[in-house]
Structure 1
Amino acid sequence: MIYAMSDIHGCIEEFQRLMKQVDLSGDNRIVFCGDYIDYGDGSCQVLKYIWDLQKKYGAEKVVVLKGNHEQMFLDWISDYRNPYPDGTEDYMTFNDWLRTDFESGADTIRTFISKQQMDSLNTISRTCSMETINREAFQMILSNYEKLILWIEQMPSYFETENQIFVHAGVDEEAGEYWMWGTVDRILLGKFPATKGKFYKTIVAGHVGTGTWSLANDRNYHDVFYDGESHYYIDGSVYKGGKLLLLAYDEENGKYYQVENRKMILVRTFDKYQ
């Protein structure tokens, strides 16, 4: 069995609850398809949970892919770890990374630092520039979680099996069997809109913006979206009132299931798409 999950977005309680339905015994494995941080109140906790799981079972059994939100975080880290040599201050700021204001964005930063450190950031935010706040936040996170950050930096962007390509957003399908050489990170991590139709391998991905409801054109739909051809999308928009999705591929019968309430529900073509 190959399990897949994507777009957890800091929703630690939903994540821990759903992980109780994952069986990693025998040859079973799980592929996490990115976007573990932002929006929810447990970004760092989600990362630590997955990191510990991979250390326990190994990288072949617990595959952890990078999402666009991890890449934004790494870009922010990189800018403050390696300032531009010409002395300019064209940094990816804390606001740019989270695409929000400091008060809201602090919900993510708070998960990486202690309460005392957060109090310090709140204090300096009253009088200091965003540049100074960014630098302080970076130093705090680096001092607390340097090894975790190194692990995030080493996350691959896709995982390929004989039958599937697991990826956060998608691949360049026009390249056909040469997708691996034709697909840049911008597509792997941020392809939009989601592709439907026939491809020579099955694509399992998340990153469909507002969730699978947007593909179904039904705001009440938060389940796995299968286009009837080669694409399974597993972003249930958990942080927007949807739900976290767990896909399971049975390698013996070649069928895909949505795991929910400890039941294996066969994934069928979304009927409104037919």
Structure 2
Amino acid sequence: MGRTLVIGDIHGGLKALDQVFERANVTTDDLLIFLGDYVDGWSQSFEVINKLISLKSSHDCIFLRGNHDELFYDWLTKSKDNPNWLFHGGQATINSYKDRPYNFIKIHIHFLENLENYYLDNQNRLFVHAGFTNVRGVEDEHFTKMFYWDRSLWETALASRNLPLEDDFYPERLKLYKEIFIGHTALSKININQPYQAANVWNVDTGAAFINPLTIMDVDTKAFWQSDPLPSLYPNEKGRN
């Protein structure tokens, strides 16, 4: 059996993805769980999606849906302009897809349509891009957008990180799963550049969209490998706002 590896938010940084694969010595025996946000930020969103599609034929992969992936899908399929999305990395993705052959675009649309909202493994470990709000868990979540937009799960974990499990005020949501692995909220915003645990929630978004590295982590051992900071890989770009 290989490892179970979880990969943080890539945001168009193919060079970083290639680096962490090499540094982690990823093999075809490993299960790869991608937490979403494959696009928006650096200039290689098209190439990142191409890479992920090709990995499906050679590796065991789980691809989760991120909020940026959903926004991009809306633009691809509905020509839906979103000024806020454009400002926060969307324009770089549009530039990356300019003049691409339509047969590739159709394949990428199919990939985006088939992203998963969450993955729950046989050890009761939950993988989700952002979070969930229902106290009974992901199966009872009525607002599916919460899987890729919610920030309250991470905020709750941070606020509860010093509470013992048996405390009356310990959040019910956090008792449902052995561990929860998320992206979505960049740790660089609190000056952290490595995976960070709060309660039983592991945040693996180390801020590759901004100034920090991309991270891949072994969910069993918690060993992790990182790329170089993205600005050093894309010195003529600025990444996400």
Smaller-chain TM-score bracket: 0.7 to 0.9
Deviations 1:179-215 (A, max 9, x none): 312252221001114230443311100001xx2144x
Kindly name which structure, 1 or 2, has the bigger radius of gyration based on alpha carbons: 1
Partner of 2:65: 66
Moved over 4 A (4+): 140-144
Please, which of 129, 138, 142 is the counterpart of residue 179 of structure 1?
Answer: 138
Asked if 1 retains the 8 angstrom alpha-carbon contact of 2:217 and 2:223, the reply is yes
- Larger RCO: Structure 1 or Structure 2 (Cα < 8 Å, ≥ 6 residues apart)? 2
The 5-angstrom pairing of residues 151-162 of structure 1 reads: 151-162=111-122
Aligned Cα root-mean-square deviation (Å): 2.2
User: Is 2:194 the partner of 1:223?
Assistant: yes
Aligned-residue sequence identity (percent) comes to 19
Partner of 1:256: 222
Partner of 1:47: 49
Please, which of 31, 34, 56 is the counterpart of residue 33 of structure 2?
Answer: 31
Asked if 2 retains the 8 angstrom alpha-carbon contact of 1:170 and 1:189, the reply is yes
Unaligned runs of 5+ in 1: 81-91, 115-139, 262-274
Deviations 1:126-176 (A, max 9, x none): xxxxxxxxxxxxxx674541112111111111111023111100122522x
**CA spacing shift, 1:167–1:181, aligned 2, 3 Å:** same
What code does the residue aligned with 1:236 have? Answer: T
CA shift, 1:56, in A, is 2.1
**Structure-1 separation of matches of 2:70 and 2:101:** 16
SS at match of 1:232: strand
| Number of residues of Structure 1 aligned to a counterpart in Structure 2 | 205
Unaligned runs of 5+ in 2: 161-173, 228-241
Please, which of 243, 246, 268 is the counterpart of residue 216 of structure 2?
Answer: 246
Asked if 2 retains the 8 angstrom alpha-carbon contact of 1:37 and 1:69, the reply is yes
**Structure-2 separation of matches of 1:6 and 1:141:** 29
Deviations 1:73-103 (A, max 9, x none): 11223324xxxxxxxxxxx315354246xxx
Asked if 2 retains the 8 angstrom alpha-carbon contact of 1:34 and 1:70, the reply is yes
User: Is 2:86 the partner of 1:98?
Assistant: yes
The two structures have a TM-score, normalised by structure 1, of 0.68
**Structure-1 separation of matches of 2:133 and 2:91:** 35
Greater mean alpha carbon deviation, residues 197-206 or residues 12-21: 197-206
SS at match of 1:240: coil
**Structure-2 separation of matches of 1:76 and 1:213:** 28
User: Is 2:189 the partner of 1:190?
Assistant: no
Asked if 1 retains the 8 angstrom alpha-carbon contact of 2:6 and 2:216, the reply is yes
SS at match of 1:49: helix
Partner of 1:147: 107
Partner of 2:163: none
**Structure-2 separation of matches of 1:141 and 1:67:** 25
Partner of 1:167: 128
SS at match of 1:239: coil
